[in-house]
Structure formats: structure tokens, C-alpha cells
Amino acid sequence: MPNYIGRFAPSPTGPLHFGSLLTALASWCDARAANGQWLLRIEDVDVVRTQLGAAEQIIRTLEHYGLWWDGEIIYQSQRTECYQAALQQLQQQNDIFWCTCSRADLAQTQSDIYTGHCRAHHQYRSQAAARLRVYKSIVDFDDGVFGHISESVADTVGDFVIFRRDGLFAYHLAVVVDDAEQGITNIVRGADLLNNTSRQIYLQQRLAVTTPAYTHIPLVVNDNGEKLSKQTGARALTWDNPSHCLWQALTLLGQHAPDVLQSEDCATLLTWAINHWQRENIPKRLTL
């Protein structure tokens, strides 16, 4: 696949942990095995959650583990004009409306599906969120690990926010715009984002951009079924013996890496990983 363009897009809300490494490694191997490009994007559109110095720490960690990227690093915080242009396009298409419902208002509905209360608000209103109008339709896609997925976004989510009341662009709009402008063909990311995919494909359709191929890496869980994440106190990756961490990640990903690779340098181990990468071997559950 000479036209393969993949990406790793971490949010700088803290340092990379082992679960982050799994996703980065899977994404990197999938791109390199296809002789494709692997881009790095820092998803710092949510400045409220961004931690000072976290982006630089993530970049240095990827370098230390030998996961080098192609081209310049993209920062979402520097791409406001692009997101504004997409929002204006959707406004002109009558695909958005301005929602003044507070969290308390939404909580009173006792439903996760937006009721459409503000759908008649076509023109911009101050301190309002922009919601994408979601019409009855089925979104279908084939995931590289979890297989065929079909969802009616109107029935599961309803009209969803793409511009927040606090003046920040929502993740869904930013990621769709960035993937389109960077020409991303294949997305390998964590399964915690699997539920977002149908919404993003629906938004891609409204913006008339190409939908990439998706592969979602299962989240790492412990024996109690608790996921490894920043929220559950996952420790930052250490700088000691990175080859061992990479070997462990490859093993969890079902790649059957030889034990001897644990004592090799990162470049040797990653060369083996590219030459032996089998996406179909990734299990649907990863347990430490």
C-alpha cells in the first residue's frame, strides 16, 4: 500500500503510559509494514485539559522508543482557522444549529440522546454550542479488529456538539478536519474511541471528505477488568530498557516476538516487527 498514510494523535494530558505505547506501536507497525507514512499530531484542541510540558514529554518518549514519524508535527491548537472554515461550511449547509441547553437542562431529560430542543436556532447565539444535525441513516464500517459495525447515530447519540459553549472546537470536528487535510488513509487507535467512529464518519459525509480505514486496538485491562489509563493511575513509561517494553507490547498484540529481542536495541526489534507484522493476529482483549 504505497499510498498508506497513518498517524498517532495523542492528547497532551499527561505522559505516555504502556497502553499509549501499545496504540502507538500498532499504528507505527501498520504504517511501516505497508511502506507508508506515519504522522504525529498533538491533539491539544482542549486547552483546558492540556498539561504544560506534556507534549514535549510525549515527543521525547516516542524518540526514545524508536518510533520516529514523517514530516512536521501538527498541533491542533494552531489550526483554529481550519476548524472555523469547516464550521462555516456546515452552517451554510444548514447542518448545524446553536444549542443553549445547559448541562443541568440536559440532565433533566434523563437521556443520553439529545432531544433536539434547540433545532430551530439557525443563527449564531453567544455562549451557545453548535450541534450537528443528525438525520436517520445507518453508518457502516469494517474495523480491523472488531469486524463489521453498523450504527444509527440519530438513535444512539442524536445531534452532537462540534463547537463548545466555552468557545473551543470539539474533538470530533478537529479530528475529522485534520485527518482529511493530512490525507490520512488508515487510523489505528485505542478502542476507547470506537464509539466515536460512527459520529466521525457521519461528519465526514457532511463535509464530503474521504473516510479512512479504521482499526481499534483493545484497551489493556488487569485481572479485575479495569482498563489501563491515565484516569486509573497508569504509570508513565520508564526510560529503562525500552526494548523490553516494546517486546511486551508486541507480544500482547499477538505478534509472537522472539524472547531474544528483549535484549536487542530498539531499531533491531522494530525492524523485526515491521517484517513480521500481522494485523489479523491482534486479539480482541488484552490482559496484563
Question: What whole-number distance in Å separates Cα of residue 285 and Cα of residue 46?
Answer: 30
Query: Is residue 185 located within the same domain as residue 132?
Result: no
For residue 70, give the CATH number of its domain.
3.40.50.620
Look at residue 28 in the predicted model and tell me its pLDDT: 98
Q: Is the pLDDT of residue 182 over 90?
A: yes
Region class of 225: left (phi > 0), else alpha (psi between -120 and 50), else beta: left
Query: Is residue 194 located within the same domain as residue 270?
Result: yes
Look at residue 108 in the predicted model and tell me its pLDDT: 80
CB 129 within 8 A of CB 98: yes
Choose the final residue of a domain: 123, 145, 172: 172
Lowest mean pLDDT among 124-128, 230-234, 282-286: 230-234
Q: Is the pLDDT of residue 286 over 90?
A: no
Q: How confident is the model at residue 106 (pLDDT cuts 50, 70, 90)?
A: confident
Query: Is residue 40 located within the same domain as residue 101?
Result: no
Query: Is residue 158 located within the same domain as residue 281?
Result: no
Query: Is residue 154 located within the same domain as residue 29?
Result: no
Query: Is residue 15 located within the same domain as residue 67?
Result: yes
Query: Is residue 63 located within the same domain as residue 177?
Result: yes
Query: Could you report the per-residue pLDDT of 188-230, keeping only the tens digit for each?
Result: 999 999 999 999 999 999 999 999 999 999 998 866 666 766 5
Strand ranges (E), 45-158 = 74-75, 96-99, 129-132, 139-143, 147-151
Q: Which residues of 248-258 are buried (b: 16+ CB within 10 A; e: fewer)?
A: bbbebbebebe
Look at residue 104 in the predicted model and tell me its pLDDT: 84
Query: Could you report the per-residue pLDDT of 118-128, keeping only the tens digit for each?
Result: 999 988 888 89
CB 93 within 8 A of CB 61: no
Tally of structural domains, the chain: 2
Query: Is residue 182 located within the same domain as residue 39?
Result: yes
Packing angle between helix 80-92 and helix 197-207, nearest 10 degrees?
70
Query: Is residue 73 located within the same domain as residue 84?
Result: no
Q: Tell me the average pLDDT of the chain.
A: 93
| Full residue range of the structural domain in which residue 52 is found | 5-77+173-287
Task: Identify which has the larger pLDDT, 21 or 222.
Answer: 21
Question: What whole-number distance in Å separates Cα of residue 194 and Cα of residue 211?
Answer: 15
Choose the final residue of a domain: 172, 205, 228: 172
CB 175 within 8 A of CB 43: yes
Name beta bridge partners: 39: 7
Choose the final residue of a domain: 125, 154, 172: 172
CB 203 within 8 A of CB 173: yes
User: Alpha-carbon torsion 120, 206, 24, 56, what sign?
Assistant: negative
Q: Which grid coordinates are listed for 249?
A: 507490547
Query: Is residue 110 located within the same domain as residue 203?
Result: no
The pTM score is 0.94
Query: Is residue 56 located within the same domain as residue 85?
Result: no
Query: Is residue 276 located within the same domain as residue 187?
Result: yes
